[in-house]
Each structure stands twice: as C-alpha cells, then as structure tokens.
Chains A and B, each alone.
Chain A
Amino acid sequence: MKPVRVRGEGRFALFLLLPAATVVFGVVLYPVLRTLLMSFYKVDSAMPGSYPFAGLSNYAKVFSDPSFYPVLGHTAYFTVVSTAAELVLGMGVALLLNAPLRFKWLWRSLVVLPWALPTIVNGALWRWIDNGQYGVLNQLLGTEIQWLGSPFLALNMVIVADVWKNTSIVAFFLLAGLQTIPNELREAAVVDGASTWRTFWQVVVPLLKPSIAVVLVLRTIEAFKVFDIVYVMTGGGPASGTQTVAFYTYLQAFSNQLFGYGAALAYLIVIAVGALAMFYLRVLRQNQMAGV
C-alpha cells in the first residue's frame, strides 16, 4: 500500500540521516550550546563541577577589559588588509589564469600549492623566512631587518603569510566566476570601442559581483577568527602586538582557565562574524535586486 511505503521510506531516510545528524549535533550544536551556557557562569577550571551563575558579567567584563580593545584593533586591521590584499591579488591571478595561456594546467596547479599547505606549516615556513638572524628574506634583500621584531611590522608580516596562502583560493573562486561570463560580452565591449580597463570595470566586475561577495564573506569570516598562523609565527608578540581576538580568547580559556570569560569572548566573535556575513549578503541581495 502506497501510504505505508511512504511512511516506511521516510523512516528509512531518517535512519540514514541519523549518523550525520548525530555528528552535527555532537560536533557542532552541542559545543555551541554548551559554550553559550558556559558564558553565563564563572567557570574558572577545565574540570567539571558546579560554578556560580554570572549572568552577563562575562560579557560586561569583555568591554571593561583594557587588553581587549588593542586586540580588537589588531583583528580589524588584519581582517581588512588581508581580505583586501587577497581580493586584489586573487583577481589578478584569476585574470591571468583565465587568459589563453599554454600549459594552463601547470599554472593552475602551481597557484593552488600555497593553499594546499596546512596553515601550521605555512606559519612555520614564514617564521623562518622572516627570521632576523638567519631568515631568507634578509638574505635576499641584503638587509638586517627584524621582520617580527616590532609589533606593527610583525602584524604586517603575519598578513603577508596569510595573503600568500589564501590568495590561491580567492583566485580560484573568481576564476570560476570569470568562466561563466560569456566572451561575447567582452568582445561586444571591445567592438564598441571600450578599453581593456573599461571592459574590466564595466563588464567583468559587475558580472563577477556574486563571486566577489562569496569570497568576501568567506575570507572576512576566516580572517576575523585568525588564530593558528599567529600562534605559530609570533605567539601573539612582540609586546602583544599580533594578538587577535581568537588568540586572546584561547589565552583566556586555555592558558588562564577562565572558560566562562573565554566562552563570552567566543560568542562575541560569533556575533561579529554573523553580523559581517549578514551585511555582505544584504549588499549582495540589494545589488541583485537593482540588477547590478
């Protein structure tokens, strides 16, 4: 009978979804909810136990913590500069890869290599390159600069390392977008007398906006929660000049065992990232509705 079969198949489908649902609940939902709960308690140990209810005081502490604002500043700077640099360089690489080149497969393979490297390895690599005593960068330039020796320069060198790795993925997203743009449109612009520059700005970029928006959302979110490359390259120094919000959260939670405070910081990262994502998506939707 048909209704029985539908019910049976539905149950079977639910059963097949169960492992995935269990993993999602266990690995994503449970920690997310547990962290939220923890942020309302004064949890000052990794060990299970009963801890006093703290209400919103962990959140209030974030805003009264004088160390938090410099850390937020570093994170904002890192996010804006690295995302912008990756977008500009990624666009250049995507345009090159989209051009009629010989051995296209080789160039594409080479470009993807930095992205394929684990971030920890990338961080260690750049830590050696930037070493003021025996790093290859000073050897190449014939200088004696301590690249990781002053806070602002070190933050910029971490950005360089991040850009080197992530420009590839940005380039590939944009390349995918470029390949959906019909050549006829560009050819028509050329026939109408548009220069290469004008064709790029008035034909390619508008049609590439959805891809750019996706890249911006992904890279902004990733850059805002940067942790591993900082941990490996500088350990947050010198003089705390490369500490980011995620790194500071880690310090508070795991080094200082202030898990309640760390949870509140983690939730503020989630809120900030969510707000950024919504902003980008809203801009994208408005552009689409306006037919841009």
Chain B
Amino acid sequence: MVAIDRRTVLRTAGGAGLAALLAACSGGKGATTGDQGSGSSGEIRALFMKQAAYTEADVTKMTASFTAANPGIKVTPEFVAYEALHDKIVAAGPAGTYDVVLIDVIWPAEFGSKKMITDVSGQWPAEWKTEMLAGAIDTAEYDDKLYGVPWIMDTKYLFLNTQHLDVANANPQWLDTWEGTLKSARRLKQSGVVKYPFIWSWQQAEALVCDYAQLLGAMGGKFLDDSGKVAFNAGGGVQALEWMRQTIVDGLTNPASTQSLEADVQRVFQAGQASIVLNWTYMYGAANDAKQCKVVGKVQVAQTPKGSVGRPGVNGGMALCVTAGSKNQAAAFKYISHLTSQPEQEKYALSSLPVWATSYDEDAVIKTNPAVVPQAKKQLDDLILRPQAKSYNAFSQVLQAELQNALLGRKLAQKALDDAADKANSLLQS
C-alpha cells in the first residue's frame, strides 16, 4: 500500500491548482472563442423558443445546412418556452453565454437601450429594407438602429371549425366582422353544437395583450397617443375590453380562457370543443395533423375580423440578434444571415411565414401552406404594434393584471383601464 503524506497532498493539489489557473488565464471562454474578423471559425451558442413558429426539428435542419456550408463554425442551439425566453436572455447577458438570441418584437427597445444586443445596422444590405415586409423590420428596429435580423413573421388569424358552422347554420361570411363573429357564436351556442364557441389565450401573460391588441386595433383604439401617453383607456380600447367581458357574461367564451395560453387554445380547438379561435400561423399545420387533431379537414383559416376601423393583426414577429457579450460576432451574424435568408425561410413556410415580401407570390411557398399564405399576404400588410418602450414588460404586466380584473368582473372595463393607464403612464416616464 502506498503511503500518502500530508506534504504530497499539498504539493499535488498546489500543482493542479496552478495548472488550472494557467489554463484559465490562457484561454477566454471556450464556447465562444473563434475568429471574430472573418467569422469562418469558432463556436456559437444560440437561444431559440420551442413552442411556436419554427420547430426544433426545423432549426436543427437549418443549422445543419449552415454548418455544412461553414464547417469551421460549430453551432449549439438551445430551446426554451416563450415565457422563459426573455428572462433567460437577461440572466445570461452578463456572462455572454449566448452568441445569438431570438427576441420578440416588444424587446428591441429594452435590449437595445441596455446594450445587451449588438447594433448591426452597418451590416444590413441596403436592399433588405425594401425586400422585407415593413412589419418584419419593426421586430429588430429601435431608435433608428437595427439590432438584429427579422426571422419570424406572424400575426393572429381566425381559425374556424367549418363543421360546427355548418351544423349551426352560421354563415361563414358573418365572420368577416367582429359583430358578425359574435352573431355566429350566439348561433353556435343556441344550436348546442358546442358549449363555448370561443376560447382565447387570456391568461395573465403577453398572450392576453396580443388578443386585446387585435380587438383594440379593430375598434379604433390605440395603446399610446401621438405624444406617447397611454390612450388605451378611451374609445376603442374600452370597447374592446367590454366586448371581451361580454362574451364571458353571455357564456360564449370558455371560462378557462383566463387561464389559457395559445397551446391550451390549440388543444381545445383540436378536440372539437371550440368553434372560433385566434391563434398564430403554426396552428394551421397542427390542426391538420391527424395524430394530434380530431378536426382534421374541418379547419378554415381567415383574416382577423373587421371592426369599426379595420382589421389590424397584432405584430407577433421575432428577430435573431447577436448578443453584445458574444466573442464571435462575425460568425454569429453569418449564422443569423443564413437562417433569415429567403431560400432558407421559404423551405419551412409551413411552420412560419417568411419575412420577405416576394415569398408570398412564390408557388413553392404557397404550396407549403395554401390556406394560410393568401390570408397572410393580406393580413401582414396591416399590423398593430405594441408600444416600443424600454419598460414595455412592466407596462404589459400592469395592463395584463387590469385586463384580467375586468374579464373576471372585478372591475368595469373603464375603471380597469383607467387604473392601468395611471400606472403605465408613470412607467413610460421612468
């Protein structure tokens, strides 16, 4: 048996410690070292969301085609739920854990002003600004600077169960307006074909603000007035919330709506337990998948209904950005450019529609999603943007809570929105 004395332990450990210290000093971050100038080598870690738009499988294939063309660059994609995406970007920001992050259209002001993502205005080819949809560019722009490249172009569409409408003898054309949609819902309920014709994503989350935005826009409301002050507590903003609450009172909206996100809406609709819902593009693909849907072949997608002033869809776009902490900025931008390129986006149009205007006339794209693309072409020209404010998250939290107070009947719509406006105005000034 070999005797190990105290001195040996100290010497060995001291040597190992010194070696570790030297190794730590010599390198930098292993995951992100690489060629910053040419972007031809190195490692990239990228953060995506998992539940909507491009699937994990899509991103993996897109990444594989990038690394095949750029063998010197290794990419490690990670996926989190949308609800965790913002906070993960924030928590990882100081350490520079990720080189590429996916951001929502409501975050460029926050991340840009706090210098968490890189201003890539100088790297944007001039033609991108004219070739991309205007609503897509909003997802990366703040203060006349571009902080990324748009990747997901989305808004909420109206999904209908055509069999339910037939049975209830509800004219599909009624669904062209919100008033007609209400009439259809009443007819559906009276016919007994479904207990609750509507289910919405009205949980206390950003999803609620998205649905509200769509109704607010249609009824002529605004989030902010021209001077930047809160304006949702007047006119169309109040009417929209009253409309939402009334559908609950009338038993047209499933009461589970106030605890539901988009995935719950999808689940209930696919089970044939709702007839008319709002959801993002991805639901059409899922609604025609016999493995997960009971109403395959009975689903129709339409533009969001018209209100008194039009039918704007909520801008639900997202952009890919290079983080300020990335040690491999050139390779990261190269990766983003690949994922957002027109040919790459067109391949996966069934999951998420491209940000490129001409894609909507391409036969190959129309073929991938013939029901949605023609609707999208019309809808994506008319989008409503949620406020581009540095403190948007706090603004949204206040609005979500008060919207729920009204939806649950704890406050009248006007009172709830006035209370939200008081708090939100001070947040926008801070």
> Could you list which residues of chain A lie within 8 angstroms of chain B, going by C-beta atoms?
8-9, 12, 15, 44-48, 131-134, 146, 148-151, 234-240, 251, 254-258
B6 in contact with A8 (CB, 8 Å):
yes
Shortest Cβ distance from B84 into chain A, in angstroms?
10
Which residues in window 376-430 of B have CB below 8 A to A? 391, 393-394, 397, 400-401, 404-405, 408, 410
User: A257 with B204: in contact, given A238-B258, A238-B404 (CB under 8 Å)?
Assistant: no
The contact size tier of chain B is 35 or more
Shortest Cβ distance from A212 into chain B, in angstroms?
37
Instruction: Tell me if B324 is interfacial: C-beta within 8 Å of chain A.
Output: yes
* A47: contacting residue among B6, B115, B264, B268, CB under 8 A: B115
CA distance A245 to B268 in the complex (A): 33
> What residue of chain A has the Cβ atom nearest to residue B86's Cβ?
A255
B205 in contact with A239 (CB, 8 Å):
no
Shortest Cβ distance from B109 into chain A, in angstroms?
12
* A254: contacting residue among B91, B114, B205, B397, CB under 8 A: B91
B10 in contact with A15 (CB, 8 Å):
yes
Classify the secondary structure of B's interface with A: helix
B391 in contact with A237 (CB, 8 Å):
no
User: A255 with B393: in contact, given A46-B93, A46-B94, A235-B203 (CB under 8 Å)?
Assistant: yes
> What residue of chain A has the Cβ atom nearest to residue B199's Cβ?
A133
CA distance A291 to B6 in the complex (A): 49
* Interface flags, B320-331, vs A, CB<8A=1, else 0: 000010000000
Count of chain A to chain B residue pairs whose CB atoms are closer than 8 Å in the complex: 97
User: A239 with B397: in contact, given A133-B254, A148-B259 (CB under 8 Å)?
Assistant: no
B259 in contact with A251 (CB, 8 Å):
no
A238 in contact with B259 (CB, 8 Å):
yes
B258 in contact with A149 (CB, 8 Å):
yes
* B405: contacting residue among A148, A239, A257, CB under 8 A: A239
* A256: contacting residue among B203, B391, B400, CB under 8 A: B391
Chain A residues near B205 (CB-CB < 8 A)? 235, 237
A236 in contact with B259 (CB, 8 Å):
no
B256 in contact with A256 (CB, 8 Å):
no
> What residue of chain B has the Cβ atom nearest to residue A70's Cβ?
B401
Instruction: Tell me if B273 is interfacial: C-beta within 8 Å of chain A.
Output: yes
Instruction: Tell me if B83 is interfacial: C-beta within 8 Å of chain A.
Output: yes
Chain A residues near B363 (CB-CB < 8 A)? none
Chain B residues near A151 (CB-CB < 8 A)? 408
CA distance A148 to B264 in the complex (A): 14
Shortest Cβ distance from A123 into chain B, in angstroms?
13
Instruction: Tell me if B110 is interfacial: C-beta within 8 Å of chain A.
Output: yes
> What residue of chain B has the Cβ atom nearest to residue A239's Cβ?
B404
Shortest Cβ distance from A48 into chain B, in angstroms?
6
Question: Besides A146-B258, A254-B87, 9 other CB < 8 A contacts?
Answer: A12-B9, A46-B93, A47-B116, A47-B324, A132-B259, A148-B259, A251-B397, A254-B91, A255-B397
Shortest Cβ distance from B18 into chain A, in angstroms?
14
Chain A residues near B264 (CB-CB < 8 A)? 133
Chain B residues near A45 (CB-CB < 8 A)? 114-116
CA distance A18 to B200 in the complex (A): 56
A235 in contact with B204 (CB, 8 Å):
yes
Instruction: Tell me if B255 is interfacial: C-beta within 8 Å of chain A.
Output: yes
CA distance A254 to B89 in the complex (A): 9
Chain A residues near B6 (CB-CB < 8 A)? 8-9, 12
User: A237 with B256: in contact, given A47-B115, A255-B397, A256-B393 (CB under 8 Å)?
Assistant: no
Instruction: Tell me if B19 is interfacial: C-beta within 8 Å of chain A.
Output: no
CA distance A46 to B323 in the complex (A): 13
Chain B residues near A238 (CB-CB < 8 A)? 203-204, 258-259, 404, 408
Which residues in window 181-198 of B have CB below 8 A to A? none
Q: Which 10 residue pairs are nearest across A and B when measured between Cβ atoms?
A: A237-B204, A239-B404, A45-B114, A133-B256, A254-B87, A132-B256, A240-B401, A46-B93, A256-B394, A46-B90
Chain A residues near B404 (CB-CB < 8 A)? 237-240
CA distance A132 to B394 in the complex (A): 29
User: A12 with B10: in contact, given A238-B404, A240-B401, A257-B114 (CB under 8 Å)?
Assistant: yes
16 A-B residue contacts at CB 8 Å?
A132-B256, A133-B254, A133-B273, A146-B258, A234-B259, A235-B203, A235-B204, A235-B205, A237-B203, A237-B404, A239-B404, A254-B91, A255-B90, A256-B393, A256-B397, A257-B90
Shortest Cβ distance from B421 into chain A, in angstroms?
14
Chain A residues near B267 (CB-CB < 8 A)? 134
Chain B residues near A239 (CB-CB < 8 A)? 204, 401, 404-405, 408, 410
A254 in contact with B90 (CB, 8 Å):
yes
